[in-house]
Structure 1
Amino acid sequence: MKYAFALRPAIGLLIFILALPVAGAQQLGTSGGLDSFSLGGMSSQNRQPQSLDKIVAVVNSDVILKSELDAAVAQLKQRNAGQIGQMPPNVLRSQVLDQLIMRQLQIQKANEVGIKVSKAELQQGLSRIAQRNNMNLQQFTQAVAQSGMNMSDLRQHVREEIKISKVRQKEVMGKVSVSDQDVDRYLQNQSLRFSRDHQYHLRQIKLDLPAGSDSTTTGVVRDRLTTLRNQITSGKTSFADAARSVSQGQHAADGGDLGWMSGSSLPDSFDSALAGLSAGQISPVFRGPDGLYLLKLENERGGSNDQSGPAQKKVMVTEAHIRHIIVKPNEIRSDARTRKLAQQIRQRLLAGDDFAALARKYSDDKGTARQGGDVGWIPLNRLSPDTRRHIKKLHKGEISHIFQTHDGYEIIKLINRRERDETQQAKRNKARETLGRKLASEEGNLWLRKLRDEAYVDIRMPNYQPTPGTPGS
């Protein structure tokens, strides 16, 4: 989640964060990350405590000020009035405060585990923001200065966003593991889904997310759907009644009833939501192409014939079987002497000396030297562009020119070349990615809940209402 609360109210530029599409950020439902920063009408406020500013929450050893909350709520209303117009003010302020608290806890966790942000990472982060606004870094810096913002405040906020991204990778993504058995089961389900006569009877609740929605909006809308899901699963309301009340989908008046749909016609974003659902069950809240969704699987039928799955474009990969010799400069042998040695080796190869024998004697790649420099079959797309370019020039049995790599000087002999069908592997990779996103969402929610449960949080906002179903509620 990102607010511009650290910057002084002025004309000009609004920095906000969209929900990330990568594993981790979107799934955690809080911060959006740097890749979604952009500029548009900015309000800003210096985060220096003022004598009359009130504390609305204490988060361990940090505080959140009323001015910060006011600025965040004002920005949310300005950008997304249509999404939140019917929410009671105290509910809206409470949900935004919950988002601010979760962001602060993630920053604290990053500091606790020693997450650092290098100058290069900070510079790259600022450059990505500039690119999103069709500027180079110099132009972006000038635009910030002209708007009256403080560049040092902006740098600090970017540094915090990078910390959040890195601590997620460390604490969440490292725990996400998808087994081959998981992939097998998923593909079996997909085969059934795309069978010729398999159909699903679905109900849907959809809340729109306008293009450019920041993570504050995404978090608030996600909280609304999560609360609604809890009310449905606890029996306080029915899915159909909830859909009629809040859904912004085309079938809201029909209780969100989409009717019977062919499995092959469903959007890709529904894949992981439907995976593992039985009739009568409700999906988790998930991100679709134009909003956040809940699905209820009313029933399913068919699926007895033609379960081969949808047609998939063939994925062909070029592989090369190569031998190589790498010689590296060291404390005894200078770069110039190393290059001269490589030239001498190549001359001997061209004169007919055995490649394997010379590799065993001279190559500094100990992993392949014992095998006479034999690398085996390797996909060209896994090699560096420079190495790939040299291999593409070779015919079977030919020896490359000497070329420099980050390790030293390399000579390659092309043993053979072939095309390999990787369609099935590409299919498995896609399934693994889909399952990984789902597991990351589940693991991320558990991690956030643990952060909140273990923290000291003192809410001092008048009429605060905890968001049901979110960490700390």
Structure 2
Amino acid sequence: MKNSLKLLLLSTLFMFSSAQQSLANEVELDRIAAVVNSGVVLESEVQDLIESVTLQAKKNNQTLPSDRALRIQVMEKLINDAIIMQLGERMGVQISDAQLDETLANMARENNLTLDQFRQALIADGVDYEKYRESARNELISGEVRRASLRRRIYISPQEVANLLAAMKEQTNADVEYRLGHILIEFPTNPKQADINAAKERAEKVLELLNEGSDFTNIAMTSSSGANALQGGDLGWKTINEMPTLFSELVDGQAKGSIFGPIRTGLGFSIVKLVDVRGRQTVEIEEVKASHILIKPSIILSEAKAEALLQGFIDKINAGEADFAELAKEHSEGPTSVRGGDLGWSEPSKYDPAFADALASLDINEIHKPFRSSFGWHIAKLTGRRTLDATAQMNENRAYQLLYNRKFNMEGTRWIKELRDEAYIEVLESGNSK
């Protein structure tokens, strides 16, 4: 989560100061660009995101589609974001200022900066820090909503895990990674044969343009309905096991620059480009061992009282009047209480983002002050840290995670499409509604 948050914020969500603009421009920027259910997308949000995508494209020496095509893609993203944030509000997902500051502090540490130095560096680059901060909050909320919603939709059978484990043991290409580009020509909901034929015709036209030398990134930003459209369709580096099976069967053993498609899926027609191939990089992962005490607020126990109760536990532990494990057995809610709050060894990314961020700031045997996650209020104690060679892992957990990631990406596209189909959307400048 942390890496994806940082990538998204740094590549697509830079917000720029408009203090020098005239009053007329300020009025224009505050115009409503789209109505999404009971909310709106402002013209200022559209212009901020267009500016940030343009800046990132220049840094990467990428060409951009026409202004109209770029605006359409930006509007699509902001509409999706608005729908997810509205769902998060209904679900009661919140990110406190303390959680947000902790996330930003961890991002600063990754850049060898203090939080204040990180803030000053952003300001020096022309970034409005308060807008950046709220964008980070929204990304954390969006990520939590997405994970909570998709977790219920994904099932992985023991047989699937066993099949993948067997395949991994026989693979001769386990040390190869592929960087893929992806363009999705999406079907409408409940497509008729005419819709499928029209989508295929569009996909074949896109493929023809690519084979004639057109820029893949530009066309992805113009034509793709995929989640990575604003990044030029870039899916990043993946092993054979990490990509959808339909794609892996096509790219395995092929030369970089090869283009494949149209590939029919349940969502539409995909066009895939093998951008690059490399030997698999040695990947080291950190695992942490931790214990926690969880208190869930209720009608009887307020947020403030839950936080105060946990702070009281810390005070007793520091004074030598209580033991962490015994307090967890007596007071903690959830299945770990019988183990004295022991969570065992785990990758931090598998925890709630607020919990992972809290552990990242701790030294061994240090206890974190009370903090809020989506589950409730915690105190956490870090009891161990170790580094493992992830490239050597071919066990059941690894296979399960690979399968989960495959299904998560595909199901995520279906999920947002369903949300859009149920939403009232009106794009005001074009007069179109959906």
Distance 2:102 2:184 in 1: 35
- Tell me, what secondary structure is at the counterpart of 1:56? strand
- How far did 1:459 drift? 0.7
> Within 5 Å, which residues of 2 pair with 1:196-235?
207=181, 225-227=183-185, 234-235=200-201
- Tell me, what secondary structure is at the counterpart of 1:176? coil
Q: Choose the corresponding residue for 2:35, options 58, 62, 80.
A: 58
Map Cα deviations across residues 199-226 of structure 1 (whole Å, 9 max, x no partner).
Answer: xxxxx9954xxxxxxxxxxxxxx6xx11
Distance 1:195 1:100 in 2: 39
- Tell me, what secondary structure is at the counterpart of 1:159? helix
Q: Which amino acid aligns with 2:403?
A: L
- How far did 1:182 drift? 0.8
> Cα distance 1:41–1:161, how it changes in 2: closer, same or farther (>3 A)?
closer
Q: Would you say the 8 A contact 1:178–1:436 is kept in 2?
A: yes
Match of 2:17 in 1: 44
Match of 2:290 in 1: none
Q: Choose the corresponding residue for 1:434, options 381, 389, 402.
A: 402
- Normalising to structure 2: TM-score of the pair? 0.52
Distance 1:120 1:444 in 2: 29
Distance 1:120 1:97 in 2: 31
Distance 2:36 2:344 in 1: 51
Q: Which amino acid aligns with 1:72?
A: L
- How far did 1:136 drift? 0.4
> Cα distance 1:59–1:103, how it changes in 2: closer, same or farther (>3 A)?
same
- How far did 1:154 drift? 3.6
> Cα distance 1:45–1:444, how it changes in 2: closer, same or farther (>3 A)?
farther
> Within 5 Å, which residues of 2 pair with 1:431-470?
431-462=399-430
- Where does structure 2 lack aligned partners over 5 or more consecutive residues? 188-195, 218-236, 251-259, 275-279, 283-312, 331-338, 347-358, 366-378, 382-390
Q: Choose the corresponding residue for 2:117, options 139, 142, 147.
A: 139
Q: Would you say the 8 A contact 1:58–1:459 is kept in 2?
A: yes
- How far did 1:436 drift? 0.8
Match of 2:240 in 1: 270
> Cα distance 1:83–1:143, how it changes in 2: closer, same or farther (>3 A)?
closer
Q: Would you say the 8 A contact 1:206–1:247 is kept in 2?
A: no
Map Cα deviations across residues 173-202 of structure 1 (whole Å, 9 max, x no partner).
Answer: 343332211112223444565399xxxxxx
Q: Choose the corresponding residue for 1:123, options 101, 124, 138.
A: 101
Q: Choose the corresponding residue for 1:89, options 40, 46, 67.
A: 67
Distance 1:228 1:338 in 2: 59
- Tell me, what secondary structure is at the counterpart of 1:43? coil
Single out whichever of 105-114 and 49-58 deviates more from structure 2.
49-58
Q: Would you say the 8 A contact 2:165–2:399 is kept in 1?
A: yes
Distance 1:186 1:121 in 2: 37
> Cα distance 1:247–1:191, how it changes in 2: closer, same or farther (>3 A)?
farther
> Cα distance 1:272–1:226, how it changes in 2: closer, same or farther (>3 A)?
same
Q: Which amino acid aligns with 1:226?
A: L
- How far did 1:143 drift? 4.4
Distance 1:168 1:51 in 2: 34
- How far did 1:110 drift? 0.9
Match of 1:33 in 2: 5
- Tell me, what secondary structure is at the counterpart of 1:226? strand
Higher helix share: 2
> Within 5 Å, which residues of 2 pair with 1:58-457?
58-81=35-58, 85=63, 87-143=65-121, 151-190=129-168, 193-194=171-172, 207=181, 225-227=183-185, 234-236=200-202, 237=204, 239=207, 242-246=210-214, 268-273=238-243, 275=245, 294=272, 426-457=394-425
- How far did 1:435 drift? 0.9
Q: Which amino acid aligns with 1:163?
A: I
- Tell me, what secondary structure is at the counterpart of 1:175? coil
Q: Which amino acid aligns with 1:275?
A: T
Q: Which amino acid aligns with 2:245?
A: A
Distance 2:212 2:180 in 1: 11
Q: Which amino acid aligns with 1:180?
A: P
Map Cα deviations across residues 125-162 of structure 1 (whole Å, 9 max, x no partner).
Answer: 22133235442012234445667765444432222221
- How far did 1:381 drift? 5.4
Distance 1:141 1:75 in 2: 18
> Cα distance 1:205–1:433, how it changes in 2: closer, same or farther (>3 A)?
closer
Single out whichever of 100-109 and 68-77 deviates more from structure 2.
68-77
- Where does structure 1 lack aligned partners over 5 or more consecutive residues? 1-19, 23-31, 197-203, 208-221, 250-266, 286-291, 297-309, 313-329, 340-361, 367-374, 388-404, 408-422, 467-471
- How far did 1:88 drift? 2.8
Map Cα deviations across residues 213-251 of structure 1 (whole Å, 9 max, x no partner).
Answer: xxxxxxxxx6xx1139988972552757644444669xx
Distance 2:107 2:264 in 1: 31
- How far did 1:103 drift? 1.3
Q: Which amino acid aligns with 1:125?
A: T
